[in-house]
């Protein structure tokens, strides 16, 4: 396969998100091939790559591509930062063998969201685990073939037109199809230098001999560019810059110059002997800022000077940069950092959200003092090891400074809360007595204990701990506890409001991980209330799915996926919901939605499983409610008209403690067979879909036909208003039992869907956006929208999602019943969710 064909193959793989890796020997033409692919690809190209002399600089390869500083300490956050800048463009990474570990770890995340093409030189020194992860994530792994003899000869003639056929043949034979070797050797042959006939590495010889033709100042300047790993002003390169321009080895980039080939520049640096390279690093340290100079001095082996320059740079910066510089100073070989430096490094790393690195910074053979002990305890606590955190701070005496004692007490209290919530109450009383006016960290820990036990005023205490002006980490943590506890208590409107307030504050501070976590739980609360669906199911799906498509913290990912899947299931897109929930993550929200979707889809056997882990809160109640619905649909009512059986002996399970009032009333109604209407009223204003389900249950269980019809009509109305298509269909099936029939079509829907309208709505049901539908059907996006609007009008649908669900049911035979008065048990065709007709709204 020619390189042109290889470029076409790579471009074909890059029509959608994925990772294409091009591999080849030095000088095989990887960079040229990347440039050809980037030129042909749709959208802007973001070009970067690794640098040999700066292979340990975190996220350097990606930063070069997007031309921005990136959060290298958090791989998912790093991937999201890159994705948000590349979007529909193409990420092009050269010299992957020099990429830093953060870049390599982010590539599998990026491959699922954006188009990435990367070049990897062989041989390389990537760890086997890293290489395996890249191969697994890659859409295609393509080896760059050598130039065929004719292509190599053409390249040699273009490089040195004066060569005769014999000289060209000699160059081609010696180069072995390597484009860089062809170019270098052709230039040498054209200058009358000839080519050696030894067995030294061809490409190394080509580069070395090419650079040997440069003046010494030019070789030094090119080596300096290789060590710098970034553009540099021409004045920094001295007199050699002119010769490099004339040789075509560097090019102007604004006010700075960059090497045409970073590989050649790095090779120039590699050709220096160790002493010359160290001298050049020292020279660069005198001409670069302190942070950069520290790394050059470390590379030169002058670790003491590197330590001092790193501390100087750290004093002039803040945030993550300060943390990186202090950690660099602590890790320099042969240097014993002062205790104050280790403590400052740990403090900065904790503020940056890097507890594991903070703990490493405090690792020392000599004692560092009580201040280091509390920082170590805080790091262990944030890293999820409360027992070790307690052990780290227990030796701190009461005679320590007030700040240290307060930090110690906070860690002890939170460690107790994690291990033994009951014992934490006693610890909280003692700590509250010791701190009549507790500092923010202690106040937040005391509020957490009161919230865990739902002491009166716990909401006020957590809100105060989360207020502006408090310690950022304690404040965000307290806000998260507030939102989680409000959600567990069924106070969804308050939870959503608190989450959005916290998200706005996090956005102002660029705290991405916390911001997305709050946004995800706010969207989840909206969906449970029925607010997003009432406004527009399409918009609800779009917002939650957009959030779920990012690289998020685990909690945020789970809530976003659960919200999206629940809206999809409620609006009839059950296949999409099942697909989204295909990979279980163990989170209670996604676990419940998976069962709920199975129940909505007429698979009660998959939804009836009783929750195995004890718990409290709204989600626990919802899991029990869904399980009882599923057991009822699965035929439990055949044994007892009012009992949902889960146990072998047919007994209903006990109602868990700690449930919100509405959930407890609903489960009590299932246990007794009465009280569903009162339970529905308890859900009003909290969770509309659960209010509807209670009304459905009232219509099924009430022996009085008039009261049953009234409940079912109310359920139908609420479901239609909220866009809950499947629940509306269940209400209509219940009404048909009482000979009340509904037609979901509007008076204007007299004509059937056209074939094109059906095709469009099928793709809408599959979750395809307008742009992709247009591409698949070969029509414009405007025409797609026209067909969707026409289908909505004919079907009487309020949204495109509902129209898609209704269109699918038109293609399936309607269900009839020979006995409309039959009961709603296992054999009742009107209550079998897997029997779909147009009136079901699915």
Tell whether the model's pLDDT for residue 109 goes beyond 90: yes
Alpha-carbon span 291 to 328, nearest angstrom = 10
H helix count then E strand count, the chain: 45, 8
How large is the average pLDDT for residues 796-822?
Answer: 58
Question: What is the C-alpha to C-alpha distance for residues 472 and 491, in angstroms, rounded to an integer?
Answer: 25
Say if residues 495 and 463 touch (Cβ distance below 8 Å): no
Tokens of 28: 């095989």
Burial of 423 (0-12, 13-18, 19+ CB in 10 A): exposed
* Per-residue model confidence as pLDDT tens digits over 659-698: 889 999 999 998 888 899 999 999 988 888 899 999 999 9
Within a 10 A sphere around the Cβ of 258, how many other Cβ atoms? Answer: 17
Q: Is 65 exposed, middle or buried (0-12, 13-18, 19+ CB in 10 A)?
A: buried
**What share of the chain has pLDDT > 70, as a percent?**
81
Q: pLDDT: is 585 or 68 the higher one?
A: 68
**Segment among 40-44, 52-56, 254-258, 544-548 with least mean pLDDT:** 544-548
373 phi/psi in degrees, rounded to 5: -65, -45
Cα 335 from Cα 302, distance rounded (Å): 10
Query: Residue 22, SS3?
Result: strand
580-604 mean pLDDT: 82
631: its two tokens: 């057991």
Average pLDDT, the chain: 79
Nearest by Cα to 411 from 426, 396, 429? 396
Q: Quote the pLDDT of residue 46.
A: 92
What digits encode the pLDDT tens for the residues 283-328? 999 989 999 999 999 999 999 999 999 999 999 987 668 888 999 9
CB 49 within 8 A of CB 94: yes
DSSP 148: P
Task: Decide: 730 and 841 in contact? Cβ < 8 Å.
Answer: no
What is the distance, to the nearest Å, from the Cα of residue 202 to the centroid of all Cα atoms in its chain?
44
**Residue scoring higher pLDDT (316 or 752):** 316
Beta-strand pair 90-94/45-49: parallel
- For the segment 689-711, the average pLDDT, to the nearest whole number, is 90
How far apart, in whole angstroms, are the C-alpha atoms of residue 330 and residue 348? 13
* Residue bearing tokens 């934490």: 424
Identify the band that residue 553 occupies on the pLDDT scale cut at 50, 70 and 90: low
Instruction: With cut-offs at 50, 70 and 90, classify the pLDDT of residue 509.
Output: low
Amino acid 146: pLDDT = 76
State whether the Cα torsion 503-505-508-510 is positive or negative: negative
Tokens (6 digits) for 153? 């000869």
For β-strands 45-49 and 256-259, DSSP reports them as: unpaired
Q: What is the pLDDT of residue 282?
A: 92
- Average of pLDDT values for 233-239? 86
pTM: 0.56
Q: Is the pLDDT score of 820 beyond 70?
A: no
Residue 83 has pLDDT above 80, yes or no: yes
Residue pair 580/568 in contact (Cβ under 8 Å)? The answer is yes
589 has pLDDT over 50: yes
pLDDT digits (tens, 9 = 90+) for 161-214: 888 787 888 777 766 676 876 777 787 777 765 444 433 344 555 566 667 767
d(Cα 834, Cα 839) in Å, to the nearest integer? 13
Pairing of strands 115-121, 90-94: parallel
Secondary structure class of 508 (helix, strand, coil): helix
Give tens-digit pLDDT for 556-565. Answer: 788 888 888 8
CA 596, 597, 602, 606 dihedral sign is negative
Whether the predicted pLDDT of 745 surpasses 90: no
Bridging pattern class, strands 256-259 and 232-233: antiparallel
450 vs 556: CA distance, rounded Å: 25
Closest C-alpha to 375, from 351, 398, 402: 351
What pLDDT score does 306 carry? 94
In tens, the pLDDT along 129-162 reads 999 999 999 999 988 887 888 888 888 888 888 8
* C-alpha to C-alpha distance for 79 and 72, rounded to whole angstroms: 9
Nearest C-alpha neighbor of 569 from the set 689, 649, 459 = 689
Q: What is the DSSP string of 512-550?
A: HHHHHHHHHHHHHHHHHHTHHHHH-HHHHHHHHHHHHTS
Q: pLDDT at position 51, please?
A: 81
Which pLDDT value is given to residue 298?
92
Please compute the mean of the pLDDT values over residues 345-355 and round it to a whole number: 77
Cα radius of gyration (the chain): 34
Max Cα-Cα span within the chain: 107
């Amino acid at each position: 396969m020619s390189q042109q064909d290889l470029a076409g193959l790579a471009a074909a793989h890059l029509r959608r998100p994925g990772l294409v890796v091009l591999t080849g020997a030095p000088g095989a033409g990887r960079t040229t091939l990347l440039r050809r692919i980037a030129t042909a690809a749709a959208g802007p190209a973001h070009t970067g790559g690794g640098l040999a002399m700066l292979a340990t600089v975190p996220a350097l390869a990606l930063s070069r591509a997007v031309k921005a500083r990136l959060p290298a300490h958090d791989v998912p956050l790093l991937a999201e930062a890159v994705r948000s800048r590349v979007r529909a463009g193409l990420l092009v990474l050269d010299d992957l063998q020099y990429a830093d570990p953060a870049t390599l770890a982010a590539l599998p995340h990026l491959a699922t969201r954006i188009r990435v093409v990367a070049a990897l030189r062989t041989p390389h020194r990537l760890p086997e685990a890293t290489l395996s992860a890249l191969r697994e994530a890659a859409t295609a792994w393509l080896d760059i073939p050598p130039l065929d003899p004719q292509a190599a000869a053409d390249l040699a003639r273009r490089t040195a037109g004066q060569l005769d056929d014999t000289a060209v043949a000699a160059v081609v034979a010696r180069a072995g199809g390597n484009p860089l070797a062809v170019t270098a050797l052709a230039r040498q042959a054209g200058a009358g230098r000839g080519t050696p006939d030894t067995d030294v590495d061809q490409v190394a010889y080509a580069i070395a001999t090419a650079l040997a033709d440069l003046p010494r100042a030019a070789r030094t300047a090119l080596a300096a560019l290789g060590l710098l790993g970034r553009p540099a002003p021409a004045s920094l390169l001295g007199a050699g810059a002119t010769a490099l321009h004339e040789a075509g080895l560097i090019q102007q980039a604004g006010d700075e110059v960059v090497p045409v080939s970073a590989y050649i520049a790095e090779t120039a640096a590699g050709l220096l002997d160790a002493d010359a390279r160290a001298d050049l690093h020292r020279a660069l340290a005198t001409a670069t800022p302190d942070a950069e100079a520290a790394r050059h001095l470390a590379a030169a082996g002058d670790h003491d000077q590197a330590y001092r320059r790193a501390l100087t740079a750290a004093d002039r910066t803040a945030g993550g940069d300060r943390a990186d510089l202090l950690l660099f100073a602590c890790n320099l070989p042969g240097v014993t950092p002062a205790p104050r430096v280790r403590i400052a490094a740990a403090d900065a790393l904790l503020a940056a959200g890097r507890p594991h690195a903070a703990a490493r910074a405090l690792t020392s053979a000599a004692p560092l003092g009580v201040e280091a002990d509390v920082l170590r305890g805080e790091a262990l606590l944030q890293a999820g090891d409360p027992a070790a955190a307690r052990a780290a701070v227990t030796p701190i005496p009461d005679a320590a400074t007030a700040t240290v004692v307060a930090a110690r007490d906070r860690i002890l209290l939170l460690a107790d809360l994690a291990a033994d919530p009951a014992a934490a109450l006693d610890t909280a009383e003692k700590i509250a007595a010791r701190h009549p006016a507790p500092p923010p960290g202690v106040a937040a820990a005391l509020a957490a204990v009161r919230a865990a036990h739902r002491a009166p005023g716990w909401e006020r205490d957590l809100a105060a701990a989360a207020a502006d002006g408090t310690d950022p980490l304690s404040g965000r943590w307290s806000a998260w506890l507030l939102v989680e506890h409000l959600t567990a208590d069924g106070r969804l409107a308050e939870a959503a409001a608190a989450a959005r307030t916290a998200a706005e504050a996090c956005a102002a501070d660029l705290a991405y991980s916390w911001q997305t976590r709050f946004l995800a739980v706010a969207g989840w609360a909206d969906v449970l209330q029925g607010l997003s669906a009432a406004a527009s199911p399409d918009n609800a799906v779009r917002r939650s799915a957009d959030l779920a498509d990012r690289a998020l913290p685990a909690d945020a990912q789970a809530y976003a996926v659960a919200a999206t899947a629940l809206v999809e299931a409620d609006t009839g897109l059950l296949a999409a919901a099942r697909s989204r929930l295909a990979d279980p993550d163990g989170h209670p929200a996604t676990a419940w939605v998976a069962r709920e979707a199975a129940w909505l889809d007429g698979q009660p056997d998959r939804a009836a499983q009783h929750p195995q882990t004890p718990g409290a809160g709204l989600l626990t109640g919802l899991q029990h409610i869904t399980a009882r619905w599923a057991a009822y649909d699965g035929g439990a009512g055949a044994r007892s008209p009012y009992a949902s059986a889960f146990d072998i002996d047919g007994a209903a399970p006990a109602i868990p403690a700690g449930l919100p009032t509405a959930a407890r009333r609903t489960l009590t109604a299932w246990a007794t067979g009465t009280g569903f209407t009162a339970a529905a009223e308890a859900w009003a204003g909290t969770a509309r879909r659960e209010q509807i389900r209670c009304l459905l249950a009232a219509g099924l269980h009430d022996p009085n036909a008039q009261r049953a019809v009234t409940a079912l009509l109310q359920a139908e109305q609420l479901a239609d208003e909220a866009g809950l298509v499947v629940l509306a269909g269940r209400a209509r099936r219940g009404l048909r039992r009482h000979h009340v029939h509904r037609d979901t079509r509007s008076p204007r829907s007299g004509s059937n869907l056209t074939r094109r309208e059906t095709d469009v709505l099928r793709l809408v049901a599959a979750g395809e956006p307008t742009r992709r539908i247009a591409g698949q059907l070969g029509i414009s996006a405007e025409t797609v929208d026209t067909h969707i609007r026409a289908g909505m009008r004919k079907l009487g649908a309020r949204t495109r999602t509902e129209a898609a669900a209704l269109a699918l049911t038109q293609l399936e035979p309607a269900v009839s019943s020979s006995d409309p008065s039959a009961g709603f048990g296992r054999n009742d065709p009107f209550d079998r969710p897997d029997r779909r007709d147009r009136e079901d709204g699915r």
